[in-house]
Chains A and B, each alone.
Chain A
């Protein structure tokens, strides 16, 4: 207990407890941030985006979202979907883009997510 008799040690323990909270919080949904869940799910995904009648090239999709248009996420499929959804409802809202994400988790049958 003498280790905890200083503020910095208590802060350190508090930081560890935050991670414990994050662990349990992650159980409420599919996202896996700050909870030490490496390689919980392997998600292969493909993002296709159309703004009006123009389909974006993979390079443009990469520049738009900061992730590859076709890629792999080793933590959770929700990270890809949430990222795209956040972009399309904030920075890209004015574009009124039509987005489709085809993804497969751990080799299971392909699923799709749509925006618009």
Chain B
């Protein structure tokens, strides 16, 4: 019996429509998810300015603190809503970045790396031409890991193992087991130096197109591994930010994707049309194999096609992100939270090996495709 949904036309949900909107699709998806994440983690409530500003002259604005705070909140919220509805995404990203930079400079108590990285993502997303792959975001992520690693290398307590020992001793069981196998602080030292080398290597790998797919795997594994190893630590919401930022690496040509469905699954095309919120799929039924192709870009069959397809259905990462954040806020110790994170990671990582081609080469033909003005 046919599903009632198959008789209906799927709605056009602007939030989940990321192609042909004046910004590279994966970049647009990334900034939308980052805005939603910031909202869920109450960034708006933190926008009370000025208060103990890093940029001291901002104290002169204290008499208008209430009004300025309201303006900041309104601009951030409205620009985000406009971004969700694909209205002038580059301008919205510029405004969003400006709001966060003003906040961080005007209120030093709000400074967090997981908030600053969102501002960086917004600003750099806006710096790309429409439909240009986010090469600046690649450089930004590389800079984050390089700087994080090199900063730690400057700290004597990191190099001696004191930092790790102080953090993890008595906090996680596996560390205490490790310290029984090695002299005191040596285990912590190994972890610390390993972390430094890993972050620096990761930063360098991201700059090399051929090594970038592996770097993405390693980055995802690193953050998720930290989450598992350190009792669900998300470092504010840097874990969420990092996972979302890695979505920007998906090569996503802004042109139709041909999806060939075999006869036995052709009945599912209504579901795919509902999930294809960007209206990018050209579904052809009763084909010999399951195949996803984009002329001049890629041609996947079988499981690779399925994984590649899932990556380009924005509803999937959005749904998993909502579930992940919701579970973290309301059931942080639940097994379901771990399962959801694992599912998010697997679904997203599962497609990446098939995208293992330098973004520059994969998307050069897309630059000739029809684009929409920002």
Question: Chain A: residues with CB nearer than 8 A to chain B?
Answer: 3, 6, 8-9, 11-13, 15-16, 19-20, 23, 26-27, 32-42, 65-67, 74-75, 79, 82-83, 86-87, 90-91, 105-108
Complex interface: stretch among B116-124, B327-335, B348-356: B116-124
Kindly provide the distance from the CB of A30 to the nearest chain B CB, expressed in whole angstroms: 10
- Report yes or no: B151 in contact with A40, Cβ–Cβ below 8 A: yes
- Report yes or no: B52 in contact with A66, Cβ–Cβ below 8 A: yes
Taking the complex as formed, is B344 at the interface, i.e. its CB lies under 8 A from any CB of chain A? no
Question: Which of A3, A66, A86, A87 is the one whose CB lies under 8 Å from B135?
Answer: A3
Q: How far apart sit A18 and B126, CA to CA, in the bound complex (Å)?
A: 17
Interface flags for B116-154 (1: CB within 8 Å of A; 0: not) read: 100010011011110010011001100110011011101
- Report yes or no: B136 in contact with A39, Cβ–Cβ below 8 A: no
- Report yes or no: A12 in contact with B124, Cβ–Cβ below 8 A: yes
Kindly provide the distance from the CB of B197 to the nearest chain A CB, expressed in whole angstroms: 16
Measured between beta carbons, the chain B residues less than 8 angstroms from A37 are: 113, 147-148, 151-152
- Report yes or no: A36 in contact with B113, Cβ–Cβ below 8 A: yes
Taking the complex as formed, is B198 at the interface, i.e. its CB lies under 8 A from any CB of chain A? no
A-B contact pairs, 19 of them (CB 8 A): A3-B132, A8-B126, A8-B129, A9-B127, A9-B136, A11-B127, A12-B124, A12-B136, A15-B124, A15-B127, A16-B136, A16-B143, A36-B151, A41-B155, A41-B157, A66-B107, A66-B109, A75-B113, A106-B163
Kindly provide the distance from the CB of B240 to the nearest chain A CB, expressed in whole angstroms: 14
- Report yes or no: A38 in contact with B235, Cβ–Cβ below 8 A: yes
Q: How many residues of B contact A (CB 8 A)?
A: 41
- Report yes or no: B152 in contact with A40, Cβ–Cβ below 8 A: yes
Question: Which of B109, B140, B148, B167 is the one whose CB lies under 8 Å from A83?
Answer: B109
Question: Which of B113, B123, B167 is the one whose CB lies under 8 Å from A38?
Answer: B113
A106 touching B127 in the complex, CB below 8 Å, given contacts A36-B113, A37-B147, A40-B152: no
Q: How far apart sit A23 and B135, CA to CA, in the bound complex (Å)?
A: 21
Q: How far apart sit A42 and B166, CA to CA, in the bound complex (Å)?
A: 8
Interface flags for B210-251 (1: CB within 8 Å of A; 0: not) read: 000000000000000000000000010010000000000000
- Report yes or no: A36 in contact with B52, Cβ–Cβ below 8 A: no
- Report yes or no: B157 in contact with A34, Cβ–Cβ below 8 A: no
Taking the complex as formed, is B201 at the interface, i.e. its CB lies under 8 A from any CB of chain A? no
- Report yes or no: B140 in contact with A35, Cβ–Cβ below 8 A: no
- Report yes or no: B155 in contact with A8, Cβ–Cβ below 8 A: no
- Report yes or no: A67 in contact with B143, Cβ–Cβ below 8 A: no
- Report yes or no: B52 in contact with A83, Cβ–Cβ below 8 A: yes
| Ranked 9 nearest A-B pairs via Cβ | A12-B127, A107-B166, A36-B147, A66-B109, A37-B151, A106-B157, A12-B136, A8-B127, A38-B113
- Report yes or no: B127 in contact with A42, Cβ–Cβ below 8 A: no
The residues in B between 173 and 204 inclusive whose CB is less than 8 angstroms from any CB of A are none
Q: How far apart sit A79 and B165, CA to CA, in the bound complex (Å)?
A: 23
Measured between beta carbons, the chain A residues less than 8 angstroms from B155 are: 40-41
Measured between beta carbons, the chain A residues less than 8 angstroms from B107 are: 66
Q: How far apart sit A109 and B162, CA to CA, in the bound complex (Å)?
A: 12
